[in-house]
Structure 1
Amino acid sequence: MSKSSPAAGKKVLLFGVGLSTPPMIHYLTSFGIQVTACARNPSKIEKVLNEVKEKSLVTMEKFDISAPDYEKRLDEICPKCDIMVSMMPPPCHPKIAAAALKHGKHFFTSSYVSDDMAKLSPEFAKKGLLSINECGVDPGLDHMSAKKVIDEVHSKGGKILGFFSVCGGLPAPDCNNPFGGGYKISWTPYGVLSAGTNNALFKFQGQNVTKPGTEIYDPPEWKHVIDVEGKATTFEWYPNRDSTPYIEHYNMPECQSIIRGTYRNNGWCNTLRAIATLGLNDKTEYKVKWEDMTYLQAAVTIWNTRNADDQLDAKATPEDVKKAYAKALKSDTTNKAITDLEWVGMFSDDKVPAGCKAPIDVMCTLWTAKMQYGEDEKDMIVMQHIFEVEYKNGTREELTSTLINFGLGKYAHIPSKFTSMARTVSLPLACAIRMKLEDRIKTTGVIRPVTPDIYNAILDEVSKFPHPITFKEAALPTAIWLRHEVKPGEERTALTPETAKELIDAGFRVTVEKSTTRCIPIEEYEKVGCKIAETASWPSAPYPTIILGLKELPEDGTDLIHRHILFAHCYKGQAGWKELLARFKKGGGSLYDLEFLKLNGRRVAAFGRPAGMAGMALGLWQWAKQKLGQPAIKDLKSWKSKEAMCSEVKAALKEVEEKKGLKPSTLIIGALGRCGRGATWVAEQCGVESKSIVKWDMAETKGGGPFKALLDVDVLVNCIYLTTKIPAFLTRDMIEGDKKLGVFVDVSCDTSNPNNPFPFYNTGTTLDKPILPITGLKTPLDVVAIDHLPSLIPLESSINYSKDLTPYIKQLIKRDAIVTEPVWKDAKDLMVTKMKEAGL
């Protein structure tokens, strides 16, 4: 019995009766809508009628658009309907649409808006007629579900910085075959194979990118992990067609990245890459009689046509062909692509059917014969949109909208064998047809279903079907990306496997770049569940990703689009500070400087203690080198532990005492802080007498310099940094006279800071060349000014620092932490202040 609808009795003229049309006819007739199905072969229509309950509402018309008198035939049948619908191949649509205009009918299709269709929009609008296009699944449901989220973000004042939309028609997981990681035909194989010949155009981080069809399957494969029936499933995907017009279609001019793509199972890209490389999807018509060949002979023919300098014998065996293929693929015959081609029958003695014109046609016959769905097998549609969003307050997030829809098995109460592909292609269009017949769509012209009045109604309706087509919307957890350090000799890390696991357990997504210098092997991160990325790949991370590092970024002048956590050394007037902040300004990124992550005025995490330790160790070691007449320290390598460091230095001091009868004296400025306490600990561990460890802090320096007492010790270690101008502690004039001081270690190491209280030097040192001799003095004075001293004991430094920092990183699981949590809010506010100071 038909459902009640104002559209009951209205008439739809349907052109094209194929795999996708039965669900549409079943839906329309269930509301009492009459359908006239037009096809060249009436037997197709009769087959469709077997899938329809309301058979009395379906009539048949024979129609052949390739016939010379097709226009006359259209004139005969068009006046009998209210809406004309084309499910024919896209090149046919303009002809049907022209007839719709001629007879004053609305025209609907699920296909893309071609240039020819777009040109008809003004005429449709002028006549008060509607032509809905791209109203299937992809295109169709993708537009509707995407635009729903985009409009919601815009309504909250947000911006879509990045948009990725990927869809694939695949076998359900329990009915895969070996080919290409699992693939079966739910629509024309010609279309699938043709996709590998089409160029892809997309936008990524502000730049338009063209990927030739010959390269869309090239490694590294792009992958997404999606939950399918409770199982995390990895899919390959590749870009298709031109994605860039959808920035305008979706009204998101702010969008910097947009890619629309296709999902396939793992292994697909390898096999299709081989098919393209070998020319098996070539559309060039060969002047041969394919039907006189076996598939093996066809393979030889295709090879010899494309490889004039490397011909196969006409009687080549399957092994000969496989070896040739392996050579072309720079592989061997065990390559999965070659075993896939063998499985599908490319090397068989079966005859090629008649009707083939080009290599792609030959391949299509194999696919049609070998990759059909079995009687009780199901297909599925997998679709996911990823939205990279930024809001006015600077917060960012990644949103997803995901569809997992399975084809139907045999059920008593519904038509049998409706595939997911057929349902998702035809039912959204059927809903739109019904809406128009019920006068619920007022728009005119050639349109896509991207306005709320259309997409909300269709999405709502398909979600209420007995077997619903439903999108699941979600916000992805915060993503942290640990980058590789580019500073020479930097082995520390802001995240250890233990703290990375803490973040994962707290809900974060954690990516760790491969690094040849990090003190912890990448395998340890992989074991705890981190995603592993290639070295220096962080620039391509999604916009909302938080990039975590320690020392400076590459000085390549590129715009910085992400939120970065690092020691930037640019807030105290250091060299290049304006240039670095300008990169953040231009890219729209943010800087959260680790040096200024504070709570109640105190850093939440610091490397002060290990910096002081390493500084004192180098100071004592270089003093020993001076006294023994040995060359200065150079080419520093890290120690496995602080104990190993102290042991080596202690041995050097013992040698000085035994050979020269000397013991060092030290003075530590800032002795009560973390850094100073670390320096004191090392001095004690290395055997420096307590009376020779002089400790200065604020009480001793509050009167202001200069301080002659600093010249009366062997090793001076400075553990303070200044943000305000004060009189110098030591001047050039002072060190030119008589002095005991032989080594000065500046742990703060702000050499370009205008407030540096030791203005007799302005050049930092490195692990390769850690000693800077001050020239022109009566007695030697060596300076150690390495700005990443803790890297000399990297593992312990990293473990302790990461433990202190992680509780505050955890706060970032909340999207709005940068405006609600004091540590992050203050860091953000400081960046804004410094930007203003830089005139940005």
Structure 2
Amino acid sequence: MLHLRNVLQLTRGYAAPVRGLAAAVAARSTVSELRAKLVESERKMASLKHAMALHPDPARKRVAVLGAGRSSGPLIRYLLERAEDERWSVLVADANVKLAASKAGDHPAAAAVELDVANKDGLTAILDTADVVVSMLPASMHAPVIEMAIGLGKPVVTASYATPDVRQHDAAAKAAGVPIVMECGVDPGIDHMSAKALIDGIRDAGGDVREFRSYTGGLVAPESTTDNPWKYKLSWNPRNVVLAGRGVSTYLQAGVVKFIPYNKLFSRAKNVVFPDGTTFEAYANRDSLQYIDAYDLASASTVLRGTLRWPGFCEAWDVFVQLGLTDDSFAMEDADRMTYAEFLASFLPWRQSDSVELLLAYQLQQPMFSAVMDKIRWLGLFSDRRINAKGSPARILELLLQHKWRLRPGDRDLIGMLHKIAYVDANGEAREKISALKIKGSATDPDMTAMATTVSLPVAIMTKRILNGETFGPGVVIPTERNIYKPILAELADDFGISFEDSDIPLVGGIHSDHFPTLVSQPEPSAAIEGSL
């Protein structure tokens, strides 16, 4: 039996560790309490900052910028560079509050808050403090924002199309005396403004427009295409790239309305040559017919708006359209367990003995190492790499392109725009105005791409003009009126070097509408391919 003395001797060696453990527990408790107090302090500070953001200096006019994504950087920079002189404050709101804060920076006139468009109370609080609302949100989110802004009597400026769900608020905006300025980016936006300036100039000189063609493309600069056989990289929303052209494209050709369904769109691309000799290919862009009224082109027998790509893109992209890889109407539940080769093979007729490359070559009637097959191979769609994602075919393709088509450090993007307007002048002579724009983005500042700059600067300039008391509308308007487009085009040219090179030439042989010819044609079946299957 142990005596008390022995017990004390045995436990003496544990006394210090026990005291240390007790101290550690106490310290841990103290740290936990301090951490909880810090979290609570940060919460209160965030709440205070949010309250301050939503209650700006009444001496300043307030801009609420909704969306801090790819194209918002030059817009926010423009507003903040002028904020002190103009006495503005800028609230940047985004679902990703850290992204919003990064765009607002530490500028004393800027604040950032979290945005949830579905939270009506939160959205109301943001819009209610604004003198102008700028929406850089995805197009599907504009309508509820615009509806609420009209109810609060707030003007709205955005770069997106005036879709039917936006135009349905036109009467309410007019009744409220509120301008809703849509299509104030690059395409749509600068294309409208520059085209209408040309058309109005022709009319002012007594001319009559007979044919109108306009093309715009968000591309990558030639020097940044050497590592990518598609010659395409993402400078805007990748989802919009994948879904581009869906529906039916319409235009007017020699007085006849033409329709191009989605499954024919990319196979009916045509070559377009700029005045400097640069060749692109173009496909019809959405509904060109709506711009007959917008541009006042009742006398024109041809009205066409198109989208530009580098040659070879459309033929390869058409493969994805024909196979169904751009379909966004259903989810592939097992896609996360597939390889990219299995994903592609799931859209091809099955032959157990053939590789997916051979199956696709046979389906396309293309040689195994044609330019089209090389583009698809380069994307990794024949590889055994796992997808590790679920979603629609379009979503899976989008995720792949986000990786393969990303702009790398030092890359420069390119905006190209071309107007060709055939007209009869006051003397009865047939002539053609040609107006071309090429703008490259920064190689060093990822926020200052050509796409972001040309999308957001017209929005910024329009916002400034409303803040400074100029009146427009009311109702849903696009920038086709002189009082809107002339000052914007002038500032873009004078302050940012965004200007067109124009020429005006006689049309030998008069005006005649050509068709919208097929550029891409399928090659004859290869005997080698047929023999191997």
TM-score range, shorter chain: 0.7 to 0.9
Tell me the amino acid that sits aligned with residue 404 of structure 1.
K
Q: CA deviation at 1:392?
A: 4.1
Tell me the amino acid that sits aligned with residue 42 of structure 1.
V
- The correspondence of residues 26-425 of structure 1 with structure 2, limited to 5 A, is 26-32=77-83, 33-49=88-104, 55-65=107-117, 67=118, 70-177=119-226, 179=228, 181-219=230-268, 221-227=269-275, 232-303=277-348, 310-313=349-352, 320-354=355-389, 356-410=390-444, 417-425=447-455
Change (3 A) 1:297 1:462: same
- Is residue 180–residue 272 contact of structure 1 (8 Å, CA) maintained in 2? no
- Is residue 73–residue 447 contact of structure 2 (8 Å, CA) maintained in 1? no
**Could you say what secondary structure the match of 1:283 adopts?**
coil
Q: Find the structure with the greater CA-based Rg.
A: 1
Q: CA deviation at 1:287?
A: 4.2
- Is residue 106–residue 130 contact of structure 1 (8 Å, CA) maintained in 2? yes
Distance 1:390 1:21 in 2: 41
Q: CA deviation at 1:539?
A: 6.1
- Is residue 218–residue 235 contact of structure 2 (8 Å, CA) maintained in 1? yes
Tell me the amino acid that sits aligned with residue 378 of structure 1.
R
Residue number in structure 1 paired with 2:467: 437
Tell me the amino acid that sits aligned with residue 163 of structure 2.
S
Distance 2:339 2:104 in 1: 38
- Is residue 180–residue 267 contact of structure 1 (8 Å, CA) maintained in 2? no
- Is residue 180–residue 271 contact of structure 1 (8 Å, CA) maintained in 2? no
Give the alignment's Cα RMSD to 1 decimal.
2.1
Q: CA deviation at 1:479?
A: 4.2
Q: CA deviation at 1:443?
A: 2.9
Tell me the amino acid that sits aligned with residue 91 of structure 2.
T
Distance 1:30 1:201 in 2: 42
Tell me the amino acid that sits aligned with residue 183 of structure 2.
E
Residue number in structure 1 paired with 2:488: 458
**Could you say what secondary structure the match of 1:60 adopts?**
strand
Q: CA deviation at 1:361?
A: 1.2
Q: CA deviation at 1:141?
A: 0.2
**Could you say what secondary structure the match of 1:393 adopts?**
coil
Residue number in structure 2 paired with 1:727: none
What whole-Å deviation, never above 9, does each CA across 1:798-819 have from its counterpart, x for those lacking one? xxxxxxxxxxxxxxxxxxxxxx
Residue number in structure 1 paired with 2:504: 475
What whole-Å deviation, never above 9, does each CA across 1:273-310 have from its counterpart, x for those lacking one? 1121222212231342211221112112233xxxxxx3
Q: CA deviation at 1:252?
A: 1.9
Q: CA deviation at 1:325?
A: 1.2
Distance 2:59 2:256 in 1: 51
Distance 2:289 2:427 in 1: 28
Change (3 A) 1:207 1:408: same
**Could you say what secondary structure the match of 2:485 adopts?**
helix
Say which is worse superposed, 471-480 or 336-345, in terms of deviation. Answer: 471-480
Residue number in structure 2 paired with 1:540: 514
Is 1:426 paired with 2:460? no
- Which structure 1 residue ranges, 5 or more long, are not aligned? 1-6, 304-309, 482-537, 543-840
Distance 2:472 2:367 in 1: 61
- Is residue 290–residue 352 contact of structure 1 (8 Å, CA) maintained in 2? yes
TM-score normalised per structure 2: 0.81
| Percent of aligned positions that are identical | 29
Change (3 A) 1:8 1:191: farther
Whichever structure has more helix as a proportion of its residues is 2
Change (3 A) 1:541 1:391: farther
Change (3 A) 1:323 1:56: same
Distance 2:335 2:176 in 1: 50
- The correspondence of residues 582-601 of structure 1 with structure 2, limited to 5 A, is none
Q: CA deviation at 1:170?
A: 0.7
- Is residue 249–residue 286 contact of structure 2 (8 Å, CA) maintained in 1? yes
- Is residue 245–residue 286 contact of structure 2 (8 Å, CA) maintained in 1? no
Distance 1:391 1:541 in 2: 24
What whole-Å deviation, never above 9, does each CA across 1:632-666 have from its counterpart, x for those lacking one? xxxxxxxxxxxxxxxxxxxxxxxxxxxxxxxxxxx
- Is residue 71–residue 451 contact of structure 2 (8 Å, CA) maintained in 1? yes
Distance 2:109 2:226 in 1: 39
Residue number in structure 2 paired with 1:752: none
Tell me the amino acid that sits aligned with residue 134 of structure 1.
E
Change (3 A) 1:386 1:311: same
Tell me the amino acid that sits aligned with residue 370 of structure 2.
N
Change (3 A) 1:417 1:12: closer
Tell me the amino acid that sits aligned with residue 398 of structure 1.
E
| Aligned structure 1 segments of 4 or more residues deviating by more than 4 angstroms | 177-181
What is the aligned residue count? 454
Q: Higher RCO, 1 or 2 (CA under 8 Å, sep at least 6)?
A: 2
Distance 1:295 1:46 in 2: 37
- Is residue 323–residue 332 contact of structure 1 (8 Å, CA) maintained in 2? no
Residue number in structure 2 paired with 1:639: none
- Is residue 10–residue 437 contact of structure 1 (8 Å, CA) maintained in 2? yes
Change (3 A) 1:39 1:226: same
**Could you say what secondary structure the match of 2:503 adopts?**
strand
Residue number in structure 1 paired with 2:28: none
**Could you say what secondary structure the match of 2:457 adopts?**
helix
- Is residue 218–residue 414 contact of structure 2 (8 Å, CA) maintained in 1? yes
Q: CA deviation at 1:353?
A: 3.5
- The correspondence of residues 2-13 of structure 1 with structure 2, limited to 5 A, is 9-13=60-64
